[in-house]
Amino acid sequence: MFLPTTEKELRQLGWDRPDIILVTGDAYIDSPFIGVALVGKILMAAGYRVAVIAQPEVDSGRDITRLGEPRLFWGVSGGCIDSMVANRTATGKRRHRDDYTPGGANTRRPDRAVIVYANLIRSHFKNTCPIVLGGIEASLRRIAHYDYWSSKVRRSVLFDAKADYLLYGMADRSIVELADVLQSGRDPRAIRGLCYAAARPPEECLVLPSFQETAQSKTGFLRMFELFYQNNDPVTARPLAQQQDSRFLVQNPPAPYLSTEELDQVHALPFERELHPWYRRFGEVRALETIRFAITTHRGCYGECNFCAIAVHQGRTVRWRSQESILAEARDIAAHPRFKGVIQDVGGPTANMYGFECRRKRTKGCCQDKRCLYPEPCPALGIDHRPQVELLRRLRQIPGVRKVVVASGVRYDMILADRKHGREYLRQLVRHHISGQMKVAPEHCVDKVLDCMGKPGTGSLLRFRELFYQLTEKEGLPQFLTYYIIAAHPGCTREDMAALKRFAREKLKLIPRQVQVFTPTPSTWSTLMYWTGKNPFTGTPCFVERTAAGREKQKQVLISALVDRKQAPGDRERAKKPARSGRRGRKGRRGGKTGSNL
């Protein structure tokens, strides 16, 4: 069933009022990929009455008041994407399209959505029950943070929104604890994964440089972020405090990660995999194309790319569902009346991190002095692709499933590091699980830029490319690689982009089309570099292109070659080779899944 979103639905359920109302910047899609739907179903399973108000009008009270006032709390989320990222391009222009809005027009999600929605609630419900912020927008803005769109350091969003509490991370454990505590009338301030305001910090807190200091001093901002990042592991994190005005933000340590059994229970909850009928009348939602029949296998990422926020939001320790849980979901998908035989994705933040982890991390937490994959994969990680090879084989055998696509990103350096099973995993992907093209993300080729990104060098990329085309030729499939590139990342100059163009022509035999300009988003190392102009790992200055025109010119250095050269001869010839097996891959589309909760 859908969570109710109208007064009529409340009456049909026999509810006089909801216990919890979740407000979101996305349309209400009932899918495990949508955070509000996921935590709503978790709360329902825990016995609470949960309703949803999606994309409320902000210039009237018509939407926000239609369900009345909840009994326990309001849950406020900007949606699956930070609202500023959803609404603005990397050069600051307003986006016209929104993949999470019915009809696709970007007219329903306000800038700084969690602040706007919290203020909307306060304006229509005086002295209301607690307002609780969550989702990726709140999670990454929970401390003082650099905001690219205003080009300044902003306070915690908890203070700017004048909310009562903030739940960070995936929040599926902590939100039930919060509901239980509020139900019993107890004080929620001991809940892990919770942020709140206090007159003074608890004695056990590690006190960060204040908001005022971080706003005035880039050195103070750097010190704050390093302490913040080091205290994001549930095993080792200390409680943090940061003075914002006359009060302190207090961040409790992260909630413990869900076990495999708990993840299985979450994904066994029923989902419609559809847009709620009340919102369907406004048009289709494009995001459904990539998530309706996709499956999440795991959470977290130990890749720790410096421009990515997954490590802060989902965590650096990977945890996964059992194969039986995943297979059960695939069988449910196969029985869906709209299913046409293709499971659109099987993966997570990085597809080939399923089923193994460093044993040390589970008991002692993440290493503070080194990373799992950079500059080289750590031997202690024990990279093993056997679990996913077996999972994919079993998924292919489900009646009604004719193709299983792995559309999530794949770390090619991990495939090469797995000397026992990496080649077989790639062979299975080539033979069964890509749709004409395989997407990889080298992001750049210049070593000093890759160092700023926390990405491996080009040696592993070229070895992987050679192996991929060996296997495609052996399988007789007309498939090829596509490459994602970032322009204007800290440390990158126009000369570096020119070097990238030469590398692409000479070594990759094509000019990548998937080029995006770096967008500084809160709570990432790359944004820290953008704001401070320093590489925090070396302490040395790094070049930062700050002008919109200069950032766009870096992108144009690469893509201008497409005017005269749509595709290099080497890869065009590969793509036209006849398929010996008679099978033909289909060109895929990059997915829009985030895995962000609340």
pLDDT digit string, tens, across residues 207-246? 999 999 999 999 999 999 999 999 999 999 999 999 999 9
Burial of 538 (0-12, 13-18, 19+ CB in 10 A): exposed
In a domain, 202, yes or no: no
Q: Are residues 402 and 508 in the same domain?
A: no
Quickly count: other Cβ atoms within 10 Å of residue 386's Cβ: 14
Whether the CB-CB separation of 452 and 489 falls below 8 Å is answered with yes
pLDDT tens, 159-215? Answer: 999 999 999 999 999 999 999 999 999 999 999 999 999 999 999 999 999 999 999
Report residue 325 as tokens: 């849980």
Are 23 and 54 in the same domain?
Answer: yes
CATH for 475 = 3.30.750.200
pLDDT, mean of residues 444-470: 97
Report the mean per-residue pLDDT for the chain: 93
Task: Report the percentage of the chain scoring pLDDT > 70.
Answer: 94
DSSP label at residue 159: H
Is residue 158 included in any domain, yes or no? yes
- Which pair of structure tokens corresponds to residue 246? 């006359």
Distance between CA atoms of 479 and 170, rounded to whole angstroms? 36
For residue 564, the enclosing domain spans 441-456+465-598
378 is known to lie in a ligand binding site: no
pLDDT grade, residue 526 (50/70/90)? very high
Instruction: Assess contact for 161 and 119: CB atoms under 8 A.
Output: yes
The structure's pTM equals 0.93
Identify whether 549 is part of a domain: yes
What does the alpha-carbon distance between residue 178 and residue 219 come to, in Å, rounded to a whole number?
Answer: 36
- Report the CATH number at residue 136: 3.40.50.280
Residue 34 and residue 179 share a domain? yes
Q: Mention every residue, 6+ apart, whose C-beta is less than 8 A from residue 179.
A: 19, 20, 43, 46, 48, 72, 73
Is 308 annotated in a binding site? The answer is yes
Handedness of CA 528, 532, 533, 538 (dihedral sign): negative
DSSP per residue over 368-413, as a string?
A: SS--SSSSS--GGG----HHHHHHHHHHHTSTT--EE---S---HH
**Are 392 and 449 part of one and the same domain?**
no
Residue 301 assigned to a binding site: yes
315 and 182 part of one domain: no
Model confidence over 59-102: pLDDT tens digits? 999 999 999 999 999 999 999 999 999 999 998 899 999 999 99
Quote the number of domains for the chain: 3
Question: Which of 196, 214, 248 is where one domain is finished?
Answer: 196
Judgement on whether residues 403 and 482 belong to the same structural domain of the protein: no
Residues 405 and 447 in one domain: no
- Is the domain of 596 the same as that of 536? yes
| Same-domain pairing of 176 and 303 | no
Residue ending a domain, choose from 181, 196, 211:
196
Q: Do the domain assignments include residue 161?
A: yes
Is 491 in the same domain as 409? Answer: no
- Same-domain check for residues 349 and 365: yes
Residue 62 shares a structural domain with residue 181: yes
Kindly report the CATH number assigned to the domain that includes residue 350.
3.30.750.210
In a domain, 262, yes or no: no
